[in-house]
Amino acid sequence: MEYLPFFTFFCSLILLLNTELSFAADMITPTQFIRDGETLISSSQSFELGFFSPGNSNSRYVGIWYKISPKTVVWVANRKDPIPDRQGALTIDDNGILVLINQNKSIILSSNSSRVPENPVVQLLDSGNLVLRDSHDMSSESYMWQSFDYPSDTLLPGMKLGWNLKPLFERQLTPWKSADDPYPGDFTFRLDINVVPQLFITAAPSRKVVRSGPWDGLTFGGVPMMHNKVFKPRFVHTEDELYYAYEPFYDTVITQILVNPSGQVQRRVWNERIRGWRIMFSWPFDICDNYAECGASAYCRTSKTPNCVCLKGFESKSQDEWDTPETRKCVKKSPTESDCLNGEGFQMLKRMKLPDVNWFNQSMNIEECHVECLKNCSCRAYANFDEVGGSGGCLMWFSDLIDMKQCSNPLTAGQGIFIRVPASELANDFIKKKRIKIISSVSAIVGSFILGLVFWKAWKKTKNKGNKFIGS
């Protein structure tokens, strides 16, 4: 009898442990459900999956959030299909498909793949990836379906922003409509690969809002703080894939990329001391990041005002720096002068975010690039594609140079670009240089003459003094 209390305690402990275990599972099999109120927790407790209502909303969504920060939802399964009540459940159906069911309908999350798993399980991994896999093949990373292929507004370490080439599909980020509604907002953050890889923030339907320069082998030009001690950017280009991803430098660092409802891309780092997110940087970063801020034939800078600088051979049509980008135009100084095979040359601008790219040849090196551009009258500029990586490639511009930015911030990478300038500008340059040379030679001559005079006088004085001494 004495032992009864202890016995009951022991039993309830076992019961407690049991229920704890069943709640703390990281996967379900086809006979199991995750009902509203239940969650999956990844094996090392980093991420949790379950039902939630965002902000002031009463609708229910299935999401994945950080265990340490349940308010930070990184993925939403049913962004467009909120569940009105608490009757929703997540399960695997008879065909091995992951479905979210409510009273009346089922929302299909995964689809039939060519390989239907024999023993399907759905597992929440420690990376935050929800995967459909075969329970007899748990070591393999070949998933029948994974949430990382359908990003919401967050890019976690290991997720890919960009393209699968075979079969062709794209992974892009879209923000929530608002803090209360995960429905996809009007912006997208994506990797454009039409000519060369460039990052874009676009607004619906397809207006360019912000653009990075092309990947230069190490970073995307114009994007702040790609060099840092928090995360390593990674750019992968194989026959099958073309994407951007990143890994944290240290396992203890918790970091993410988020697109917020106003279309701003934020790099965030978890700060354990304040138990909150610190924003490492935002993009767009300054006024010069706005797409085509200065119009054509100009570049933007933040180091001085006015921000817009016309390229050599162009001048501003109006001096009013409050002009809108549409009216702020740089026009040719001497429209009648032909800058074709007429003695023109190139001006090199350093540390620039290259203009929006529309022509690229991988097999040409920078010398061939120069020769071809000079020969072709419609070539406005050229640049080395892989300036850092050294694998070559030639970029040329045959239309207006748009969205160029001077990267004066030392944490932002920029590249060199060679811009065609008419002969008259080169002549101006030559005259200017010559004038400077003449002025400096004249001042050198005058300077040495004065110096000589001073020395001569001083020498004469001491000589006179000396004479006096000798004389006395």
Only one of the segments 161-169, 190-198, 267-275, 358-366 lies at the binding site for ligand NAG (rule: CB under 6 A); that segment is: 358-366
Q: According to the binding rule CB under 6 A, does residue 358 interact with ligand NAG?
A: no
- Show the DSSP H helices in 271-375 as ranges: 366-375
With CB under 6 A as the contact rule, which of the stretches 98-106, 193-201, 406-414, 434-442 interacts with ligand NAG?
Answer: 98-106
Residue 363 binds ligand NAG (CB under 6 A): yes
Which residue number, 95 or 408, has a Cβ lying nearer to ligand NAG? Answer: 95
Note whether 85 binds ligand NAG by CB under 6 A. yes
Is 102 a residue that touches ligand NAG (CB under 6 A)?
Answer: yes
Where do runs of H (alpha helix) occur along 38-153? none
Q: How far is the CB of 311 from ligand NAG (least distance, A)?
A: 20
Residue from the set 258, 296, 364, 417 that interacts with ligand NAG by CB under 6 A: 364
Element holding 62 (H helix, E strand):
strand 61-66
Q: Minimum CB separation from ligand NAG for residue 341, in Å?
A: 10
d(CA 302, CA 299) in angstroms, rounded, equals: 10
Residue 384 has which token pair? 């080395």
Query: According to CB under 6 A, which one of 361, 409, 424, 428 is a site residue for ligand NAG?
Result: 361
How many C-beta neighbours within 10 Å does residue 120 have? 22
CA dihedral 41, 46, 48, 54 (to 10 degrees): 170
Q: Taking a C-beta distance cutoff of 8 angstroms, is the pair 88, 76 a contact? A: no
Between CA 213 and CA 414 the distance in angstroms is 8
Binding footprint of ligand NAG, residue count (CB under 6 A)? 14
Q: How far apart are the first and last CA of the chain?
A: 132
* Cβ closest to ligand NAG, residue 254 vs residue 396: 396
For 147, which DSSP code? G
For ligand NAG, the binding residues in 378-417 under the rule CB under 6 A are 378, 398
Nearer of residues 85 and 240 to ligand NAG, judged by Cβ: 85
Q: Please tell me the distance from the alpha carbon of residue 418 to that of residue 390, in angstroms, as a whole number.
A: 18
Determine the interface stretch with ligand NAG among 30-38, 359-367, 380-388, 432-440 (rule: CB under 6 A). Answer: 359-367
Distance, in Å, from the CA atom of 383 to the CA atom of 354, rounded to the nearest integer, reads: 8
266 lines the binding site for ligand NAG (CB under 6 A): no
Residue whose CB is less far from ligand NAG, 104 or 139: 104
Main-chain dihedrals φ then ψ at residue 203, nearest 5 degrees: -110, 145
Among 8, 112, 119, 135, binds ligand NAG (CB under 6 A): 112
CB-CB contact of 269 with 257 (8 Å): no
Q: Give the interface with ligand NAG as residue ranges (CB under 6 A).
A: 84-85, 95, 102-104, 112, 361, 363-364, 368, 376, 378, 398
